[in-house]
Amino acid sequence: MSGRIPQAFIDELLARADIIEVLGSRLQLRKAGREYKALCPFHNEKTPSFTVSPDKGFYHCFGCGAHGTALGFLMEHDRLPFVEAVEELAGMVGLEVPREDSPAARVQRSHHELLAQAARIYRELLKDAPQAVAYLKARGVDGTTAARYHLGFAPDAWDTVQLRLGGNPEAEQALLTVGLLTENERGRRYDRFRDRIMFPIRDLRGRVVGFGGRVLGDGEPKYLNSPETPVFHKGRELYGLYEARQALRQIGRLVVVEGYMDVIGLARHGIAYAVATLGTATTAEQLARLFRVTDEVVFCFDGDRAGRAAAWRALENALPEAREGRQIGFLFLPEGEDPDSLVAREGANAFEARLATEVQPLSDFLVERLAREVDTDSVDGRARLAEQARPLLARLPPGVYRELLLEKLAATVGLGAARLEKLLAAGAPGVDTARERAATPARPRPRSGRASLVRQALLRLLHCPQAALTGPDPDFLASLERPGAALLQAVIDDIRAHPQITPAMLLEHWREHPEGRHLGRLLDTELLVDDEAAAEEYRDIMLRLGVEARRARIEQLSARAGTLEEAEKAELRALIAASGR
Ligand SMILES: [Zn+2]
């Protein structure tokens, strides 16, 4: 998030991390010789083609081509951005992530600091605002809960924050950037939040990234959030997730509600596992975040029409995250009730009893709604049902979960699963082709004959980087006009600059590189030899490439034999001598 992470640290992290431990906590690994095998988490399969090499520190799937290091796995499997994956892995091996302090990182830190200061100011001001305290008390919020969520108050004034944290053009600009100030058309700046109970929104690390504010009087809008800023993205953050993680060691279930007051109302009654989205439908990114800390997510909505429509939107966004081992459900409250009012009226036990008995699984909700809308007794109706189900099913990741859902849908409409699948396929391609394609795992690519020599050399280095230390000097590669020759040379230089490099480090060094990013694809060729043999083969390949480079150079020089300079003539003689002709 802030500051670049030095490559040397990534190297150390990969040297210390045990890929078997990282993947083993998320997959069923079975030892097979020197490697481990598992059912691939990235495509649907019945026999394991997902292979992990503890020595080399990487994994590869021969079915779908997925590959990477422990770090890459956290990014793909846990859906973490790079920096968060580094942090996660560092946490596992007990390392602190160092930062190269960039100007951008300093700016970001100052933004967080500014928001933290504002949160402190609002908290202080709540103590001097009897009307705000009275409001909270009337809603049943006690002091402990208010303190836990760092609740505050923004008085009915234009310049509360501006006066305290502004003062010069630079500071005002920063306040504007983080959304604490706003500006009218005439350029006048003033406090965005006025006469509101303030709810600081904290990210997973506890930093304040934005605010929600509920108006105390009858002003509009009733709820106001910080705008999107460099540190606040509504589609990513969830109100209350940080606090839930603080309160609970193990989170068996998270309940997604609509408002801050719902989170706080539930927490006050001891239900500390509620989170709220920030005025938007739950995004797939938010859901991925929730599933990092729990296996069960329940969406809680008002049982009225609007609530059901919102639930359907949540369902659509949740589909890409639905897979075996995860539970997604919907709880519809009696019409006109929200979690806050309901828990206040009937208590925590009754609310938890609803969670235990009334939650509708995602599959039920989906099938019920689809089946209700069409006449499944008619041929037309079934075709329409297939039409409507297609884009939804296409959003599901392939796997057991998808198959079960298909079966359930088939049973409900009185069709065989195979027949339904045919109906689903019949109308394709539909509007969602791109998404369907994205949801379908890449087919194993046909092996394209013999891999080129350059590819073969790269492949051996990937498995046994140290081969580059003793192999021939790669300078000749510069004159070799073959695809990948420049990459090969750069990889050799990289290894020579880092003699202790492991295969996993090598992969990570090239993560950001447009050409090198595809290095890992080479892993779909299995190397069946040990390191010593790989080094020997590498040497042999390099010698062959050397011969080829020499021949090319000889041809090039011979072509203009009459115009060669002295040095070139000498070079040509040496080349001919070296090639033994
Ligand atoms: Zn796979």
Rounded to whole angstroms, the Cα distance separating 367 from 405 reads 8
Residue 314 neighbours by CB distance under 10 Å: 22
Query: 4 C-alpha to center of ligand 1: Å?
Result: 31
Using the mean position of ligand 1's atoms as its centre, give its distance from the Cα of residue 565 in Å: 57
Give the model's confidence band at 7: pLDDT under 50 very low, under 70 low, under 90 confident, else very high. confident
Gap from CA of 479 to ligand 1 centroid (Å): 38
Residue 91 vs residues 9, 78, 84, 449: alpha-carbon distances, Å: 13, 15, 10, 44
Ligand 1 geometric centre to CA of 40 (Å): 5
Ligand 1 centre and the CA of 28: distance in Å?
A: 14
Ligand 1 centre to CA of 324 (Å) is 16
State the distance from the centre of ligand 1 to the C-alpha of 523, rounded, in angstroms: 13
Alpha helices in 440-509 (DSSP H): 453-463, 467-470, 485-497, 503-509
Residue 439 Cα to ligand 1 middle (Å): 13
The alpha carbon of 514 and the centre of ligand 1 are apart by a number of angstroms equal to 23
CA 428 / ligand 1 centre spacing (Å) = 25
Q: How much of the chain, in percent, has pLDDT values that exceed 70?
A: 93
Specify the amino acid at residue 110. S
CA of 443 to the centre of ligand 1 (A): 9
How far is 321 from 352, CA to CA, in rounded Å?
Answer: 25
Separation between Cα atoms, residue 506 and residue 490, nearest integer Å = 11
The CA 394 to ligand 1 mean position distance, Å, reads 18
Q: Could you tell me the distance, in angstroms and rounded to a whole number, from the CA of residue 327 to the centre of ligand 1?
A: 23
Sequence-distant (6+) residues with CB within 8 A of 367 are 405, 408, 409, 412
Q: How many A from CA of 44 to the centre of ligand 1?
A: 7
CA of residue 320 to ligand 1 center, whole Å: 17
Which is more confidently placed, 64 or 154? 154
**Ligand 1 midpoint to CA 127 (Å):** 57
What fold, for 250-352?
Dna Topoisomerase Vi A Subunit; Chain: A, domain 2 (3.40.1360)
Residue 384 CA to residue 288 CA, distance in Å, equals 31
Among 215-219, 274-278, 437-441, which is the least confidently predicted range?
437-441
The single-letter DSSP state of residue 523 is G
Contact yes or no for 20/36 (Cβ under 8 A): yes
Paired sense of beta strands 181-183 and 189-191, if any: antiparallel
CATH 1.10.10 assigned to domain 366-439? The reply is: no
Token pair for 122: 């609002």
Distance from Cα 66 to the centre of ligand 1, integer Å: 6
Averaged pLDDT for residues 73-98: 86
Cα gap 406→398, rounded to integer Å: 11
Ligand 1 centre to CA of 69 (Å) is 15
Report the alpha-carbon distance of residue 235 to residue 135 in Å, rounded. 30
Instruction: Tell me, in angstroms, the distance from the centre of ligand 1 to residue 26's CA.
Output: 15
Burial class (CB in 10 A: 0-12, 13-18, 19+), 256: buried
Q: Encoding tokens for residue 117?
A: 């200061």
- Residue ranges of E strands in 239-339: 254-257, 274-276, 296-302, 327-333
In terms of Cα–Cα distance, which of 224, 156, 162, 152 is closest to 195?
156
Lowest mean pLDDT among 151-160, 166-175, 246-255: 246-255
Q: How far is CA 577 from the centre of its chain?
A: 57
Question: Where do the DSSP E strands lie in 84-239?
Answer: 152-154, 181-183, 189-191, 196-202, 208-215, 223-225
Of the candidates 23, 122, 33, the one whose C-alpha atom is nearest the C-alpha of residue 76 is 23
Distance 442 CA to ligand 1 centre (A): 9
Tokens of 8: 């040397």
Class of domain 104-225: alpha beta
Distance 90 CA to ligand 1 centre (A): 26
Q: How confident is the model over 415-421, as a mean pLDDT?
A: 78
Burial class of residue 149, CB neighbours in 10 A (0-12, 13-18, 19+): buried
The CATH code that applies to domain 453-578 is 1.10.860.10
Query: What are the tens digits of pLDDT across the range 380-404?
Result: 888 888 888 888 888 888 777 888 8
Instruction: Report how far ligand 1's centroid is from the alpha carbon of 160 (Å).
Output: 56
336 CA distance to ligand 1 middle (Å):
47
pLDDT band at 439 (very low <50, low <70, confident <90, very high): very low
Q: Output the CA 64–ligand 1 centroid distance in Å.
A: 4
Å from CA of 23 to ligand 1 middle: 14
Q: How confident is the model at residue 280, as a pLDDT?
A: 82
Three-state DSSP at 341 gives helix
DSSP secondary structure letter of residue 412? H
Residues within 5 Å of ion ligand 1, judged at the Cβ atom: 40, 42-43, 61, 63-64, 66
Name residue 213's beta-bridge partners.
198, 224
Identify the CA nearest to 108 among candidates 2, 222, 209: 2
* Position with higher pLDDT, 134 vs 580: 134
> Are 282 and 314 in contact, with CB atoms under 8 Å apart?
yes
Q: Can you tell me the mean pLDDT for 1-12?
A: 78
The Cα–Cα gap between 327 and 388 comes to: 23
Distance 35 CA to ligand 1 centre (A): 16
Alpha-carbon span 54 to 56, nearest angstrom? 6
End-to-end CA distance of the chain: 60
Residue 124 zone, left/alpha/beta (φ > 0; ψ -120 to 50; rest): alpha
Q: In a 10 Å sphere around its CB, with 0-12 CB exposed, 13-18 middle and 19+ buried, how is residue 134 labelled?
A: exposed
Name the least confident of 67-71, 90-94, 372-376, 435-439: 435-439
Q: How far does residue 279's CA lie from ligand 1's centre (Å)?
A: 37
Distance from residue 441's CA to the centre of ligand 1 (Å): 8
Structure tokens at 580: 């033994």
**d(CA 409, ligand 1 centre) in Å:** 27
If you measure from the C-alpha of residue 169 to the centroid of ligand 1, how many angstroms do you get, rounded to a whole number?
55
Strands 189-191 and 223-225: unpaired
Calculate how far, in angstroms, residue 326's C-alpha sits from the geometric centre of ligand 1.
20
The domain spans of the chain are 7-93, 104-225, 250-352, 366-439, 453-578
Mean pLDDT for all residues in the chain: 86
Integer Cα distance of 473 and 5 in angstroms: 31
Cα–ligand 1 centroid distance for 497 (angstroms): 33
Distance 68 CA to ligand 1 centre (A): 12
Cα of 543 vs centre of ligand 1, distance in Å, is: 35
* Strand pairing report for 274-276 and 296-302: unpaired
Query: Is 38 within 8 Å of 30 (Cβ atoms)?
Result: yes
Cα distances (angstroms) measured from residue 265 to each of 253, 364, 530: 17, 29, 62
Distance 527 CA to ligand 1 centre (A): 18
55 C-alpha to center of ligand 1: Å? 20
51 CA distance to ligand 1 middle (Å): 9
Q: What are the pLDDT digits (tens) for 97-129?
A: 887 677 877 888 899 999 999 999 999 999 999
Has this prediction a pTM greater than 0.75?
A: no
Distance 111 CA to ligand 1 centre (A): 41
Nearest CA to 112 among 240, 233, 203, 214? 203
Residue 430 confidence (pLDDT) above 50? no
Average confidence (pLDDT) over 290-308 = 89
Q: How far is the CA of 162 from the centre of ligand 1 (A)?
A: 54
Q: How far is the CA of 249 from the centre of ligand 1 (A)?
A: 33
- 10 Å Cβ neighbour count for 22? 23
Query: May I ask the CATH class of domain 7-93?
Result: alpha beta
